[in-house]
Structure 1
């Protein structure tokens, strides 16, 4: 009888340990629960972009109706720091609006104390009202008040809107690319419509059809662009490297 009771007791102990282990494994595998307090802010990308933990995965959120300075723009770092102080590590509510062209969720963030993060950024001069994507009268009013009181970035002499800053960078990049393509064309292609290149030196006696000709690269004077007829008047003969 005693041996039977002992065996039964061992079975109950093993069963208890097995169930306990299974429950522990399930708890480890489950993602961080979403409580009634909302979603946890796990990253701050910049002043107007954050990441939340949703269903165990990061969800990138672009704040609706506001545009904060870029990271490499004046006040960009301060704007990011403000958003971090207001939201990082906290549980917030998300009011979704739509998805932007980058696939990010666009929405409003409600802080634990009930304040609207989007509005607070504009109210305190850490972001513009993004009028291209929002007709909010509330955000427009908050920006007007921040401007009048010279809060945050409005205390500067000439704040530049982020969309103007980005547009300027795109134009600069496009101009640089156009110049690069022009340089490549001049270097790799022969002169068109009788255009040739000469070294503006008294000792030079040749003309070149390629601006990137290795013989022309040794020129210590100015490289000029003229017509082949003008080269003939100057008694220039074709380069043996590029004009043959």
Structure 2
């Protein structure tokens, strides 16, 4: 079973998150897109871990984070009305952010755009039903050197 929320985009957080307003209640909340992970934009503990794991300098990872963020923002507009689709048993992450698939007013799914175009990688720490497909699409983006894969082999 799925849950749908009509929302308005208020502002962007990073390459896989944003602040939205529920259309009817006007309540603001943070959204983290299911199944994807974009590089961080700040020096933090996750950057340190990624730096060691990937053998890529933090400065480059942060630069990639900003490229992902710019691509993310270029696909949506502040004030755009979208739909968030959630999997019933998977509504929030450990930080209390609302999880979901963001369907843009065009009908395109932002999670899928980020993966297909190589600006995010599959994120398996939080399960979502489309994760196997995201892994397949990410491999294709990597093979085709799309998005961030034009700069690095992994991020």
TM-score (norm 2): 0.74
Give the CA deviation at 1:88.
2.7
Which of 103, 111, 114 lines up with 1:110 in the alignment? 103
Q: CA RMSD in A?
A: 1.7
Q: How many residues align?
A: 124
Displaced runs of 4 or more, over 6 A:
none
Kindly provide the CA deviation profile for residues 168-187 of structure 1, in whole angstroms up to 9, marking residues without a partner as x: xxxxxxxxxxxxxxxxxxxx
Does the 8 Å CA contact 2:83/2:104 hold for their aligned counterparts? yes
Rounded to whole Å, the distance in 2 between the matches of 1:153 and 1:86 is: 16
Question: C-alpha separation between the residues in 1 aligned to 2:13 and 2:152?
Answer: 27
Corresponding residue to 1:99 among 79, 87, 92? 92
Choose the corresponding residue for 2:117, options 124, 128, 147: 124
Q: Any stretches of 5+ residues in structure 2 without a counterpart?
A: 43-61
1:96-154 CA-to-partner distances (Å, cap 9, x unmatched) read 23111111111110011111100100100110011232362211111011001000111
Richer in helix (by share): 1
Q: Which runs of 5+ in 1 are unaligned?
A: 1-36, 161-244
Which residue of structure 2 lines up, in the alignment, with residue 49 of structure 1?
17
CA distance in 2, matches of 1:151, 1:80: 15
- 1:63 is matched with 33
Is residue 80 from structure 1 mapped to residue 69 from structure 2 by the alignment?
yes
Give, in whole Å, the separation in 1 of the partners of 2:152 and 2:17.
26
Counterpart Cα distance in 1 of 2:135 and 2:154 = 17
Larger RCO (alpha carbons 8 Å, 6+ apart): 2
Determine the C-alpha separation between the residues in 2 that align with 1:107 and 1:157: 28
C-alpha contact 1:94 1:110 (8 A) present in aligned 2: yes
The residue that corresponds to 2:150 in the other structure is 155
Q: Which has the larger radius of gyration?
A: 1
- Secondary structure of the 2:72 match is helix
